[in-house]
Structure 1
């Protein structure tokens, strides 16, 4: 019969193992290295099977490891918090996101790959871009009428396809651009989309 002390010991061991797995994954993320379950298990000095017992999906593990590595949208955009210019705020948000994507690209690529091959996992993706886009636009773009809110929502949807890891990797991997050039290209595209949409949003706000 299992004693209370043995049960506590097993619980503590599980906690230590889980903590080690998350720490190993976080180390891989911050190094920009590829993040796979075998790599995580090796760094945590456990078997791959043990890693999978604690985290059945790599996306779940990466989400746990990302806690504390990304600032909140308000913290990220603090340098432009006082700016009333939505274009300047969006440009800053775009660069912030894509620089962090570049730094953590091993984990970002792992999440993209996992959600492509297993679509139900898509909803577990961190989705940092959406909070940054909201923080860039909401404080300075009025949308108090239903029509303006609808147009602002559409703009955000359009921007989410541009202010994204997928767009960045498309330019660097497929078009062969260096990171700086790719980010500048996406900033210009985001600016153009926003400049086109803003007058319509403001007009809807007045209606």
Structure 2
């Protein structure tokens, strides 16, 4: 596999150029735009031909500009042992991160709804990062529940959290952002409690 353009040659200068393009893309996304590589190049003061060496297309640019890209875990440094506390800690961090980058998150959501299935797979919101974060939070359930049931629980919790839920709760439900976050935390905890006390949800078979 060939090395990324930014990792070859004058890496210091290339890193600054890359950072400028990503910063420009984030600025445009925060304003509600769906920036192209050309748009980012103009804002960053970078030649179009140079910008395309870093980002072949809009999809790659948006993925690099997304604030969640580098996160591998949302648990605190010393995570709690209790599964309910672990889940709540992850949901709190997840919602905090979304609120800090709400404009970008809304733009990504809109793009994911407008594009084809093949195009959606390249967008950050379709990379399943939240699924991994929630699965890690629920890891104490391993041995108590079957893997497929843990996964179903993770999917249920994900459906009640994230930017999609925030948009519905605030734009349609009329809640404040603080109320929306509280609702997501309550829903996640309620789903976990349901699974622990009543067993996994029906499969629908």
TM band (smaller chain): 0.7 to 0.9
SS in 1 for 2:182: helix
How high is the TM-score relative to the length of structure 1? 0.72
Give the 3 Å change call, closer, same or farther, for CA 47–115 of structure 1 in structure 2: farther
Q: Which runs of 5+ in 2 are unaligned?
A: 1-8, 201-205
Please report how far the alpha carbon of residue 183 of structure 1 lies from its aligned counterpart in structure 2 after TM superposition.
0.5
Partner Cα separation in structure 2 for residue 43 and residue 155 of structure 1:
43
2:68 equivalent to 1:71: no
Please report how far the alpha carbon of residue 70 of structure 1 lies from its aligned counterpart in structure 2 after TM superposition.
4.5
Report which of the two structures shows the higher radius of gyration computed on alpha carbons: 1
Give the 3 Å change call, closer, same or farther, for CA 172–50 of structure 1 in structure 2: farther
Partner Cα separation in structure 1 for residue 196 and residue 179 of structure 2:
26
SS in 1 for 2:65: helix
Query: Which has the larger share of helix?
Result: 1
Q: 1:102 aligns with which of 89, 94, 99?
A: 99
**Superposed counterparts of 1:28-177, under 5 Å:** 28=27, 32-37=30-35, 40-46=40-46, 55=55, 57-66=57-66, 70-73=70-73, 76-79=74-77, 81=79, 83-118=80-115, 119-124=117-122, 125=124, 126-138=127-139, 140-143=140-143, 148-177=146-175
**Larger relative contact order (CA 8 Å, sep ≥ 6):** 1
Cα contact 1:59–1:114 (8 A) shared by 2: no
**Which 10-residue stretch deviates more, 53-62 or 164-173?**
53-62
Aligned residue pairs, count: 184
How high is the TM-score relative to the length of structure 2? 0.72
Could you say what the CA RMSD is over the residues aligned between the two structures, in angstroms? 3.3
